[in-house]
Amino acid sequence: MPSVYDFSAKTISGEMIPLSQFQGRVLLIVNVASRCGFTVQYTALEEIYRKYEPQGFSILGFPCNQFLNQEAGSDEEIQGFCQSRYDVTFPMFSKVDVNGSETHPLYRFLKNSKGGWFGVRHIGWNFTKFLVDRNGQVDRRFSTMTTPHAIEPHIQRLLAEKPNLQV
């Protein structure tokens, strides 16, 4: 069965990495933007990352400029903004498309795994969140409006489960 671990992505510093390096971890994958009304969610995302990272949790941030040009900067500018404004330490990746013909393959997989309201696959805005279990399968999808702290019980539940690593 396909999983998140089957994909690779370019980090914000330009290095292509396999997502299999996160195997066995609970992941929250988020399309982010620097000039959005929801950008303040970076604060809560970073708090949750620091709280649960030692238990096997990671957040993967994917900047996206598809929603009203709210992430127009270069990768270097985005990284500088995230570090200086929100002290982001969780892994950040290079800008991607989450909708349309140029959708990053990871996002194609995420959307096909869990649709949004009424099964809609399209991502409607920045800060849509996908929670992935330790086996690389999408457990839940959360809307932009769902605060990171509201996701904590789901993170805790998945962290309590052991991975089903198949040889």
Q: What is the DSSP string of 26-83?
A: EEEEEEE-SSSTTTTHHHHHHHHHHHHGGGTEEEEEEE--TTTTTT-S-HHHHHHHHH
Specify the pLDDT at position 167: 42
| Catalytic-labelled residue, pool 26, 27, 32, 36 | 36
The span from the CA of 144 to the CA of 146, in Å, is: 6
Which residue carries 């969140």 as its tokens? 129
Tell me, yes or no, if 82 is annotated catalytic: no
Specify the pLDDT at position 135: 94
Q: Which of 94, 132, 98 is nearest to 6 (CA)?
A: 132
pTM, rounded to two decimals: 0.89
Say which DSSP state 137 is in: -
117-162 pLDDT, tens digit per residue, is 555 566 876 889 999 999 999 999 998 889 999 999 999 999 998 7
Low-confidence ranges of the chain (pLDDT < 50): 116, 167
The span from the CA of 1 to the CA of 30, in Å, is: 23
